[in-house]
Amino acid sequence: MSVLVVGSVALDTVETPFGNADSVLGGSASYFSLAASTFTDVHIVAVVGEDFPKKHLDMFDSKGIDTGGIVKEKGETFRWQGKYGYDLGDPKTLDTRLNVFETFDPELSDEYRNIDHVFLANIDPSLQLKVLDQMNSPKLVACDTMNFWIENKLSELKEIISRVNILMINDSEARELSGEPLITNAARKIMNMGPERLIVKRGEYGALMFSDEGIFFAPSYPLEKVFDPTGAGDTFAGGFMGFISSDQTIGTDKQNLEKDFKKAVVYGSVLASFTVEDFSVNRLSELKNHEVDTRLQAFMKLSNMD
């Protein structure tokens, strides 16, 4: 099994109270892919510029990530610069240069069109729809979005939401999209738009999954050090989708369906907890399977009442 991700591959400059990093690998597809590759084969569709360092592509290759869908165009790579205060959940954007990403127009190969699991990262909803229209009956499609698209492309966004199985957004996005201040009411209203599941990412406060079966809460893992929260949400999505797509039987048995999705939420939270321990994808790129297993066991103990 494998998963396809369509999103951004970028170069980020980040400052936090604990340090800074200049022109490091970023982008939603980068974080997602490295997390998902822990469990399954990953295929990236993205665009980069002539300035994009080959070492990053080599690193993807070393993780078994298919980079055949990353197109190099004339010009510079998408760049983002941000600064975090001690409230690590609220970054201030200092500079955004879309560069070649501004004309990103994803075209899928025949191989990619037949992939069963798809993640539409935070890009223009019009592009998300274009990608979905090219797919041949995927089994599971999840997508992410942001406040900008809620405010500027609401019609297209609602169309894509009506066509995906899972929507993954954060607290403020859920409230803005629904117009509801209480997250439970917001979730009910959003699910009426079409998705079977809504996952609300809440940073250091964990994650909530809403479905017809009820509400599931996974806490965040208590860390001793947090350097950079950039990409944590995309890492969560990668852990979640990577686990779901790792085995053909996952999510197919109705009796175990909820259990599978709950475990995927926990795996997403576990992978995200590694991302924030260093800048960029540094921690993810060095992550070992035994570290994931060890943290999963520690994570499970957090909610054990025995």
* Dihedral-angle region of residue 206 (phi above 0 means left; psi in -120 to 50 means alpha; beta otherwise): left
What is the reported pLDDT for 61? 97
DSSP 279: S
d(CA 292, CA 272): 11
d(CA 50, CA 47): 10
The boundaries of the domain holding residue 224 are 2-302
The CA distances from residue 267 to 83, 109, 208, 257, 273, in Å, are: 28, 30, 13, 15, 10
What is the reported pLDDT for 75? 97
Mean pLDDT, the chain, rounded, equals: 93
What is the reported pLDDT for 251? 63
Q: Which residues of the chain have pLDDT under 70?
A: 251-254, 303-306
Can you read off the two tokens belonging to residue 59?
């690193």
Can you read off the two tokens belonging to residue 50?
């002539």
What is the reported pLDDT for 301? 80
pLDDT in tens, 241-256: 999 999 777 766 667 7
Q: What is the CATH number of the domain that holds 132?
A: 3.40.1190.20
What is the reported pLDDT for 252? 67
d(CA 81, CA 84): 10
d(CA 150, CA 262): 27
pLDDT in tens, 164-209: 999 999 999 999 999 999 999 999 999 999 999 999 998 888 899 9
Q: How many domains does the chain have?
A: 1
